Structure 1
């Protein structure tokens, strides 16, 4: 009996203890873990610009997982076509803004990500249409596109670029923050998430955290100068807020993903109200 207790997985024990805590304690521990992770990353990685590249790379890995699923299993069940289309939309807008405003390595990364996302959309819409669960992918797109467009018209960069380009830049930032919502709705409707979809969404969560860490640490390292460089008004704060929103939207899912991996579950089961 004693040896059985000693051999118990410590990570699983910690997750079970965390699960039993009241909501306020959970929130405090989550914030503490995020702050500790940021401190660790700040001192472990010298060039924090690499975090943004890492975020793009992790996102690409997630898409590769999707491609593997579509090619190997010949099914797109459990995936949200709407999320993929929103992803393609904000990537296309961001790629245009990158070409006309700040051509750099991110332009190449966005190009590769857009091409692969476009292929996923094509496969889901045409080649694997019979396996697409459209009745479960029922998140209204106007609930994200219209608010993002209105917000972009009101709050956008105050740089010297053309007004249209600045509005489009803001639009893609806001849209990226909420583009995963249709995918979360699909998983909420099914409750059971198959491995490839779970891996993909977890990769998005990691990518969002790395991107958020990049912005937070850049602001800290520049003693707030970066916010000033982005322009005046509410825009700099909205950029940072968008990164934080993306991270928190996926935080619950990532917790249950890690929990299911630790427990050795072949499929991921979500309790009611997680996403």
Structure 2
């Protein structure tokens, strides 16, 4: 009869899988990551009947991410690793979207946006008006928010919804869609310069990545379901195409970071190290 010691000779399949993945070429890893995303989409397609639920989950993920930052500020009394520029951009697109929601529609998304905006303004306040501002790494936060705002505003004048709402409301709505797509870019650039990402900041950015994936999944699953209205809309003008493109851009901007985040925890280190070319 065998001894229980023989269990020590059994290789952990998870460890074996991680070791195997680490030895694969970069192209193979990218292909496997894409395959994993497709499989996850298929699971969502089969398990979630109301695809609008994905939008709610996306906004909840963003709110949870901000909550993680709030916890960090309370425990560490430090804003090291955080981009003030990204927080300002986030507050801007949330404020504009909240304004448009009150003027054009009002639902659960409005409530979630209001909560997330309040939390974001709290982070901005801590970074600008408390003793924590001394820990802000301004020299690494190099992409100023107005460099991002200006192109989004110009694009909103070109491609905007063709609804019956007032012209200004339609421009504002387009502006917040485009701004949301690139608002995290200063944060990613800051992390690239630092190379090693502070843990709570990493949790926050991963939550943003999860939020963007869920939001993008909503549109993709609508197409897979054969939503005739959406398919016709995509062929009816520039605005629907730009909305879908914005969702895809947001997802891909954060995809690399999410890969290194998952990789660091799969390896057991929990320390996210970024290569120079991630952004």
Give the TM-score normalised by structure 2.
0.91
Gaps of 5+ in 1: none
For residues 104 and 148 of structure 1, do their structure 2 counterparts lie closer, same or farther at Cα, with a shift above 3 Å needed?
same
1:28 paired residue among 28, 31, 39? 31
1:236 paired residue among 237, 240, 244? 240
Deviation at 1:65, TM superposition (A): 0.4
What's 1:163 paired with?
A: 167
What aligned pairs does 1:117-156 form with structure 2 within 5 A after superposition? 117-127=120-130, 128-156=132-160
What aligned pairs does 1:121-270 form with structure 2 within 5 A after superposition? 121-127=124-130, 128-226=132-230, 228=232, 232-270=236-274
Higher Rg of the two aligned structures = 2
Deviation at 1:139, TM superposition (A): 1.2
For residues 139 and 11 of structure 1, do their structure 2 counterparts lie closer, same or farther at Cα, with a shift above 3 Å needed?
farther
Q: Residue 12 of structure 1 contacts residue 259 of structure 1 at CA under 8 Å; is this kept in 2?
A: no
What aligned pairs does 1:94-113 form with structure 2 within 5 A after superposition? 94-113=97-116
Deviation at 1:77, TM superposition (A): 0.2
Structure 1 ranges of 4+ moved more than 4 A: 2-5, 227-231
What's 2:59 paired with?
A: 56
Deviation at 1:273, TM superposition (A): 1.6
Equivalent residues, number = 273
Q: Residue 223 of structure 2 contacts residue 231 of structure 2 at CA under 8 Å; is this kept in 1?
A: yes
CA deviations 1:163-185 (Å, max 9, x no partner) are 11111101100000000001101
Distance in 2 between residues matched to 1:133 and 1:212, nearest whole Å: 32
For residues 126 and 40 of structure 1, do their structure 2 counterparts lie closer, same or farther at Cα, with a shift above 3 Å needed?
same
2:80 paired residue among 77, 81, 86? 77
SS at match of 1:135: helix
For residues 230 and 19 of structure 1, do their structure 2 counterparts lie closer, same or farther at Cα, with a shift above 3 Å needed?
same
CA deviations 1:197-250 (Å, max 9, x no partner) are 111111111111011111221233352413546894111111111111111111
1:14 paired residue among 14, 17, 28? 17
Give the TM-score normalised by structure 1.
0.92
CA deviations 1:25-50 (Å, max 9, x no partner) are 34433332222211110101111111
Distance in 1 between residues matched to 2:192 and 2:78, nearest whole Å: 19
Mean Cα deviation higher: 197-206 or 223-232: 223-232
Mean Cα deviation higher: 53-62 or 14-23: 14-23
Gaps of 5+ in 2: 1-5
Q: Residue 227 of structure 1 contacts residue 237 of structure 1 at CA under 8 Å; is this kept in 2?
A: no
Q: Residue 86 of structure 2 contacts residue 145 of structure 2 at CA under 8 Å; is this kept in 1?
A: no
